[in-house]
Copies of this chain bind each other. A is one copy, B any other.
Amino acid sequence: MPAKKAAKPKKKATRPALFISTDDILAHWQGHRRLTRRVIEAFPDDKLFTFSVGGMRTFGELANELLGMAAPMAHGLATLDWNGYTPKRGKTKAEVLKAWDASTPDIEAWFKKIPKGRFQETITSFGQYTGPGHWQILYIVDNEIHHRGQGYVYLRALGIDPPPFYDRS
């Protein structure tokens, strides 16, 4: 009698292990945005759009870039409409802070409308950036941390102590 073939082990359809939930990453993101707000505030009014180092953009310009990406990303992932929403930006420190505060509840509301499965789907955002939903959000958060780190150098070069990195309250 021929030997029986060993039974194939059954493949289990396992869910990927959770690193962080959608609720927790939203809280994490908003914590970073609170810190970035304090960095904007730390600039003297007359330096936010005039001072930079090494020929780079001013922190005011960088903050406007961040504004142009954050809420539109949450809106886009929720609706798959990548053009329908443009938040205000600012030309003065007061205007930038006002626009920042206007984006906060918009990000919160749109993020919560993103279908849960979308973070694992491959999406093309703004007609050109293709990757999973989680990558889209992390790109926005990471880009904010990156530029804010540059703002820390500008503040130090101006002789101003930046707010502590670990405080996201």
Contacts and interface: CB of A to CB of B under 8 A. Distances in A.
Copies of this chain present in the complex amount to 2
Closest 6 A/B residue pairs (Cβ):
A149-B149, A54-B156, A16-B21, A54-B157, A20-B134, A17-B116
A143 interface: yes
A7 B112 CA distance: 29
A67 to B, nearest CB: 18
24 contacts: A16-B18, A16-B23, A17-B23, A18-B18, A18-B22, A19-B20, A19-B25, A19-B119, A20-B25, A20-B119, A53-B53, A53-B153, A53-B156, A54-B158, A56-B156, A139-B166, A142-B142, A142-B145, A146-B146, A146-B148, A146-B149, A146-B152, A150-B150, A153-B154
A113 interface: no
If over half of A's interface residues share one DSSP class (helix, strand or loop), that class is named, otherwise mixed; here it is helix
Q: How large is the interface on A (under 10, 10 to 19, 20 to 34, 35 or more residues)?
A: 35 or more
A39 to B, nearest CB: 11
Given A142-B145, A150-B152, 12 more contacts: A15-B18, A18-B18, A18-B120, A19-B22, A19-B137, A20-B134, A24-B134, A53-B157, A54-B153, A55-B156, A145-B145, A149-B150
Interface of A: 15-25, 28, 32, 53-56, 116, 119-120, 132, 134-135, 137-139, 142-143, 145-150, 152-159, 165-166
